[in-house]
Amino acid sequence: MKKTLMLLAVILAFGAVHGQDLVYYWNFNSNAPGTDQSWAQPIASAIGTGQITYTFTEAYSFTGTTINGTDGESNGGSFAPRGGVEQVNNGAYFTITASTAGYDNIILTYPTRRTSTGFTTQEIKYTVNGTDWISKEIVDISAFLNNWVADQLVTVDFTGVASVANNPNFAIRIVLDGSTSDVGNNRFDNIRITAASQGAVATPTFNPPGGVFTQPVNVTISTTTPGATIRYTTNGSTPNENSTLYTAPISVSANTTIKAIAYASGLDPSNVATAVFMFPVVVQNMTQLREQTPGDGTVYRIAGEVYVSFQQSFRHQKMVQDDFAGVLIDDTAGIITTNYNLMDGITGLTGTILDYNNMLEFIPVMDPGPATSTNNSVIIPVVTAAMINNSPLEYQARLVRINNAHFVETGAFASGTNYTLQDGSGSVVFRTYAYDADYIGEPIPSGNINIYCLVNQYNTTAQVFSRMLADWAPVANDDETSVPVTTQLLGNHPNPFNPGTTISYFTAKAEPVQIVIYNQKGQAVKTFAAQTEGKGTHSLQWDGTDNNGNALASGIYFYKMLAGKYSSTGKMVLMK
């Protein structure tokens, strides 16, 4: 949806607005500072009499863009606030003074970009009296590229906002936050403020306004100008005096972009108003969500209940999962306002997905509301370091358990640091990703532990982290730190699977092992028998057929391991 809205913003800025004048414009091509020097204040507008002042300790100039520019615009400079030493510039801002005397329908647009450690949010504030500042909106740019691209155009529409029109004291303040390094930055260029001369028809408004909906809606369009007529389109094209005349509410039940313009005798036409109505694609569970294409702007609604397995204040992040898959919620804009406890159930989670360095992230677009259940439990597979490294996508954002593991390093845990967690199969990166965890600053445990982890991924590297000290406990036998010490069923991967999966298990000695697979009725459909030659990790492959070689239907199956007095059962899903 973000991409869709940004594309609409591009259209808006390049001519879909009737009766708008370019009142103020900054292209940062004149008086640009030298290398590693900050802009001299104030920065005068290239068009109009506006000024920019700022509170950043560093605001440099880098190569600009022609996006949102005027005719003949060149790639000159840009306005580039940086994080500053120890990120002192988080919360700093720049102020745009822009009198609107004689104008209404005020619209601000600008292209922007961010480095990987640059500011992640831009809060737009405004004043109508020159003293008090009102928050208009917060723009989440955490997914923006470090490049000038057309769909990274921010549009802030002040049309209809009380006291903004015809106001000599009007000004805009843009507050930046979320930088994580001294050189992390955002860049701004070709900042436009357009407006209509007073005497134009009031811009139409929509009820309900655009957004995400789960049921069909009837959309009304109105303007405050008496006697005005409204023309509209529903295909995203720009309306004109020959477009459909608005006479009755418009029924909307699928993704639709409505644009409207108003006309009245003796007045200039209004701005073109735009509303985007999105209806989520429904997926049943986490597994189906992970099968979708990330980054295309599609809004998804998860019909099944998911459970909160982790949350932290950083970027309002959460990890949610069901029995077989999970996802990281990255909620920089703070869309989810409901407070949840660990293992609360959430129904109706709605948002988009994107791939961030091979980690699937979920960006919510609405608050799902109160928990629909509490104190839930999920299937927690017992895995090895090798299983996580070999199949990180299978375990992403899921709780797993690693038995008989130990840390290679000594000392105390520091936040945001990589450590080595080792078991009998190898080692995996343990990153202190839970920044507020109670073990930060505590001694790294020595000897073997059984540890619950959540699985993360950065590029090709699998990572795990624990939520709290309670996620690990020492094991009884500390003599052997490299391999499991007891026979155990380790789990299967991939899960869900089609057409085959690998079931892994560990035996403490040479002994007969039987793996029996059952359907949901408790009927044994496949039996494997093996004689292990000694202590170690073993595996077998199941191709989804029964003992007669017949392909089995999609569904939930259970597998049971029997070895001497040991037995354990796992759960898997065959999904065709």
Summarize the confidence of residues 131-158 as an average pLDDT: 92
Half-sphere exposure of 175 (CA within 13 A, CB side): 13
Q: CA 60, 62, 65, 67: dihedral to nearest 10 degrees?
A: -30
Instruction: Give the pLDDT confidence score for residue 197 in this predicted structure.
Output: 77
Note if the bond before 280 is cis, omega within 30 degrees.
no
Sign of CA dihedral 89, 92, 97, 103: positive
Q: Taking a C-beta distance cutoff of 8 angstroms, is the pair 315, 331 a contact?
A: yes
Give the model's pLDDT for residue 10: 33
Asked if residue 255 has pLDDT above 50, the reply is yes
- Asked if the 2-197 domain carries CATH number 1.20.1300.10, the reply is no
pLDDT of 11 above 80: no
pLDDT at 512 over 70: yes
Q: What local confidence, expressed as pLDDT, does residue 149 receive?
A: 86
**pLDDT value at position 475?**
61
Confidence class for position 504, pLDDT limits 50, 70, 90:
confident
pLDDT at 439: 94
Element holding 5 (H helix, E strand): helix 2-13
pLDDT over 80 (residue 17):
no
Q: What is the pLDDT of residues 294-319, one digit of tens each?
A: 988 899 999 999 999 999 988 889 99
In angstroms, what CA-CA distances link 73 with 21, 109, 164, 279, 420?
17, 16, 29, 39, 53
Give the residue with greater pLDDT, 2 vs 200: 200
What's the average model confidence in pLDDT over 185-191? 97
DSSP codes of every residue in 491-542: EEESSSBSS-EEEEEEESSS-EEEEEEE-TTS-EEEEEEEE--SSEEEEEEE
Region 454-475: mean pLDDT is 90
Average pLDDT over the chain, rounded to an integer: 89
pLDDT at 80: 97
Whether residue 14 is predicted with pLDDT greater than 60 in this model: the reply is no
Q: In CATH, what class is 281-364?
A: mainly beta
Average pLDDT over residues 508-527: 89
Cα–Cα distances in Å, from 444 out to 27, 421, 428? Answer: 53, 11, 16
Sign of CA dihedral 491, 496, 519, 532: negative
**CATH number of the 488-574 domain:** 2.60.40.4070
Average pLDDT (213-221) is 94
- Hey, which residues does 545 pair with through a beta bridge? 551
In this predicted structure, the answer to whether residue 531 has a pLDDT above a threshold of 90 is no
Q: Does residue 208 have a cis bond before it (omega within 30 degrees)?
A: yes
Taking a C-beta distance cutoff of 8 angstroms, is the pair 276, 4 a contact?
A: yes
Give the pLDDT confidence score for residue 552 in this predicted structure: 93
Mean of pLDDT values over 570-575: 86
In the CATH hierarchy, which fold is given to the domain comprising 382-474? OB fold (Dihydrolipoamide Acetyltransferase, E2P) (2.40.50)
Q: Do domains 205-278 and 281-364 have the same CATH topology?
A: no
Query: What pLDDT does residue 341 have?
Result: 94
pLDDT at 126: 97
244, 218 contact by CB (below 8 A): no
Q: Give the per-residue pLDDT at 522.
A: 83
Tell me what the mean pLDDT of segment 245-261 comes to.
95
The more confident residue out of 130 and 21 is 130
Q: How confident is the model at residue 13 (pLDDT cuts 50, 70, 90)?
A: very low
How many CB atoms are located within 10 Å of the residue 409 CB? 13
Q: Is the pLDDT of residue 210 over 70?
A: yes
What type of residue sits at position 537? T
Q: What is the CATH number of domain 205-278?
A: 2.60.40
| Long-range contacts of 254-257, Cβ-Cβ distance < 8 Å, separation of 24 or more | 254/279, 255/279, 257/8
Output the pLDDT for position 348.
94
Query: Of 300, 239, 275, 332, which is closest to residue 5 (Cα–Cα)?
Result: 275
Count CA atoms within 13 Å of residue 280 on its CB side. Answer: 24
Alpha-carbon distance of 507 to 502, in angstroms, equals 16
Where would I find the beta strands (DSSP E) of 179-337? Answer: 186-188, 191-197, 205-207, 211-212, 217-222, 229-233, 244-245, 250-252, 256-263, 273-278, 281-283, 300-302, 306-311, 318-321, 326-329
> Could you tell me the pLDDT band of residue 444, with boundaries at 50, 70 and 90?
very high
DSSP state for residue 39 in the 8-state scheme: P
**What residue spans define the domains of the chain?**
2-197, 205-278, 281-364, 382-474, 488-574
For residue 8, is pLDDT > 50?
no
Q: What is the pLDDT of residues 381-434, one digit of tens each?
A: 889 999 999 989 989 999 999 999 999 999 999 988 999 999 999 999 999 999
Residue 114 DSSP SS3: strand
Q: Are strands 461-465 and 426-431 parallel, antiparallel or unpaired?
A: parallel
Name the phi and psi angles at 388, rounded to 5: -65, -45
pLDDT digits (tens, 9 = 90+) for 35-88: 899 999 999 999 999 999 999 999 999 999 999 998 788 889 999 999 999 999
338-381 tens-digit pLDDT: 999 999 999 999 999 999 889 999 999 889 999 999 988 888 88
Residue partners of 328: CB distance under 8 A and separation at least 6: 317, 318, 319, 359, 360, 361, 362, 396, 397, 456
Q: How far is CA 557 from the centre of its chain?
A: 33
Looking at the DSSP assignment, which residues form a beta bridge with residue 449?
405, 474
What is the pLDDT averaged over residues 170-179?
A: 97
- 104 or 97, which is more confident: 97
Percent of the chain at pLDDT > 70 equals: 94
pLDDT band at 114 (very low <50, low <70, confident <90, very high): very high
